[in-house]
Structure 1
Amino acid sequence: MENSYSKVSFLLAASLSFLSANSLAADLSLHKAHSFGNYFYTTDVTDMLNAKAAGYEYRGVAVKLVSQGDNDADKPFYRLYNKDSGVTGTHFYTTDINEALNSKSLGYEYQRTEGYTVKSGAKKIYRAYSATTDKYYYTTDTTEMLNLVASGNYSYQKTEGYGK
């Protein structure tokens, strides 16, 4: 019996030696929630549960990002927050480090990096902004972005990168 465990252990170790840490990296679901015109996105399930407890309505997975060590990882997806903007504050997300640093002068504080966009270009992550509410909206759905802009409430700002 001990001999069969040794063989299994050896085969398992040999199999794993061919796998890199990158091939074991999991996709990160970027969850979306909404409250008082503020959209909140996070890859952290605990953050999302806390947002739901604070009154946010869960809206599902917006897109999938990857972890830093993934072979397809491109740009970090930074999450910033301005507690003084609106009733619930405003979350702001960007892949541009200079934009993230400059947002500090507008009252934003860095919270975390949610994950990384991908090089493979599967789904564009569009960003829109409402000057009326001082809120941002992110989507991978081209039609949704066009309808949002056509409503007159938001203006298209840029593509943040790509997700899965």
Structure 2
Amino acid sequence: MWETKIFSELSTKELYEILYLRTKIFVVDQERVYQEVDQNDLDAIHVFNMVDGKVAAYARIFPQGNNVTFGRVVTDPKYRGQGFGKQLMEHIMQVIHQNFAQKEIEIEAQVQVQGFYQKFAFESQGQPFLFNHTPHIKMTHPAV
């Protein structure tokens, strides 16, 4: 079931499952040592799908300057290839439309998933750069 919550609405179990999946993928699996939990979590809108008490897919959305951004986009490996990523992006875009209409979307995507975002009309800007030892690229989408 898809959920959309601000930080204070997350249950302890939901928060644990979100942080568990993010740390598993972005720190352990990708072998990146960095502060995974940050201040943006407190201000973000969290979009996620729980399956059997576990987070299957997740992203967080928050304003950034004159734009809106989202990140920590992740699907649990056991749910990949089942359409969760596409559904997650549809929910992200819907939440942005409802909460941040008229704001351009700007993200910093890992280079290896840039093609995924291009399917949703995101355009790459500039050259790739390293962020936490991983190649990223700035991508933008017009206001929705």
Higher helix share: 2
TM-score, length-scaled by structure 1: 0.29
Higher strand share: 1
